[in-house]
Structure 1
């Protein structure tokens, strides 16, 4: 989260800047035809492939070699169940921040970009927007890649965990901050980006309002997030017969007890419109849990989504299912059952992901 050589941009005394320089990121080489979905602005719902293992081996191999570990700054973290968690505002975010989780987040970054044709965003924005903000930036990989692709933009990323690399592009910096606190940036932004926010905020509507106020007239915001629970092609299973179905139900119950909701993404479009955004556009994409779906696009997305979830299921589940009374051992045993469903091509499950953007009017009321 923080940069250093360029100094802190944020006026909040709790925001902690730290050092920066230059960096490189790794992107996945993809055949354009592999990640295209034909006509239209988004892929239609996936359909079942009766030969689901065809052409999946090479895709899986590319997934395994697609991420890069990023050196993180040396900070003290909270240790629990063999994982580490953020110290600043301890407990606000219930996923870990250790090396394993950072590598998963970088893999997840590839998934979000591949799903939309190897792009960082779908919103129409200028070539080099002057000031760009990435909230809940995680490892900072989106902000870093955006800064590299837009060298004339000033890119700022904020997060609760200081897990970003020390060496950055000169136009990129990070700050430790909570997007649910009052925003006190010294100047407005031209583009605000947020991704995988469903576990981050108690009140995402309030964050949308603060973001709207922090944009220049004519500025754009884009959020990318998942719609839980997962859906199915064909007759859905029940919690009694499917570990994956049971996991979805238990996770929704657990996050509710933690004071959060994993159903907020379905309301993002309304939040944007109520805040005052114009020309709000929502595009939905679909991530199969395994290569059960037809077509190279869906098989590629499925390979990345499955790898992301197999790596992250335990981390996602430990605290959330723990509040329901499950011990760490019980959680880990249950997670292994859920992983089997993720690998099972007879389970035709998929996650719906929304990419939504809107523009602040030139003359806001």
Structure 2
């Protein structure tokens, strides 16, 4: 292990009110055999500050054999090439299966009127929400123009940098953000801006995985490559000025921003098919394809830019880490958090 500066969506498995609520999944049982992620308009023109598609936005950055966004170049460390876009579509399916077919958990999971999808990526979630809620106006925003051209008539995609001023004139009643881990310099501030752009009674829902990976039976050791990979992600994010804000604190970020009726729900993504339970085994297969299968793309810019590693060092390290992720004797999982809250009807 190199030394760091400090330590199409598819079917089948791929090979409230009041205070806060908290829901956690039980321990996953181990498999016996193992144990022995337009052309439409919304009736108004985008604000002038929203960046239109242009040759500069399409002038993608090529680095270590992968392609990256051009707008606000360098802010987002994951690629935007075809391989990564396929992974994002797969990841969307994984999230939907995690929620047994649901797109969200908050009361606006159905029936919202004006929806914003932050960091929409390939637009899979926004497309599905627009399809399921034809009465809703849906806006998906991302740094990269990687969304499809043919979308539901109630959906529009915009290319913008959400760390700059939000200039939408009409507020939303549902803002959604998924897998924003390490994407922003100040994620609590983004949550506050989202609060300001919600109408009273509107909801914000965050869906994200938590680092580090865990095991309930100590089969994931601190000196394993998988554990070290997680530590490297924390360090790289810190060095790049985009820290991996702890998902466990999301509920507190919402409370600090002014949200009420905050609910936190925890789920688990097994790293492979080690669980006995059929649902978790299926999620494990999808997770293996999503994270282990996309590990090089998830790591290459992060570690070369953030840790000063070479591309080859990163790939070798990822190969070792992938073995841990695919080892059925390591009963590891990624904690997945769903956190949502409501903007009060009366805001002082």
Measured against the shorter chain, the TM-score band is 0.7 to 0.9
Deviation per CA, 1:7-27, whole angstroms, max 9, x where unpaired? xxxxxxxxxxxxxxxxxx856
2:220, 2:265 → 1: CA distance?
A: 27
Shift of 1:48: 2.0
> What is the match of residue 279 of structure 1?
261
Instruction: Give the total of aligned pairs.
Output: 314
Alignment of 1:79-94 (within 5 A): 79-94=62-77
List gaps (5 residues or longer) in structure 1.
1-24, 31-39, 54-66
- Contact (CA 8 Å) 1:290, 1:303: kept in 2 or not? yes
| Alignment equivalent of 2:135, drawn from 143, 152, 165 | 152
| Alignment equivalent of 1:187, drawn from 148, 170, 189 | 170
Shift of 1:222: 0.3
2:264, 2:23 → 1: CA distance?
A: 10
> What is the match of residue 231 of structure 2?
249
1:137, 1:93 → 2: CA distance?
A: 13
| Alignment equivalent of 2:30, drawn from 20, 27, 48 | 48
Say yes or no: does 1:171 pair with 2:154.
Answer: yes
Partner of 2:59, secondary structure, is coil
> What is the match of residue 248 of structure 2?
266
1:152, 1:180 → 2: CA distance?
A: 29
Deviation per CA, 1:165-188, whole angstroms, max 9, x where unpaired? 111110000111122211110200
2:24, 2:132 → 1: CA distance?
A: 24
Partner of 2:321, secondary structure, is helix
What's the TM-score once normalised by structure 1's chain length?
0.81
2:309, 2:110 → 1: CA distance?
A: 49
Q: RMSD across aligned C-alpha pairs, in angstroms? A: 2.2
2:54, 2:248 → 1: CA distance?
A: 36
Alignment of 1:344-355 (within 5 A): 344-355=327-338
- Contact (CA 8 Å) 1:204, 1:264: kept in 2 or not? no
Shift of 1:337: 1.1
Shift of 1:302: 0.7
> What is the match of residue 99 of structure 1?
82
> What is the match of residue 78 of structure 1?
61
What's the TM-score once normalised by structure 2's chain length?
0.85
Shift of 1:234: 1.5
1:295, 1:248 → 2: CA distance?
A: 26
- Contact (CA 8 Å) 1:227, 1:353: kept in 2 or not? yes
Deviation per CA, 1:309-349, whole angstroms, max 9, x where unpaired? 12321011112221323211111111111111111101111
> What is the match of residue 97 of structure 2?
114
1:194, 1:249 → 2: CA distance?
A: 24
List gaps (5 residues or longer) in structure 2.
1-7, 14-21, 38-52
Shift of 1:28: 3.7
2:228, 2:343 → 1: CA distance?
A: 41
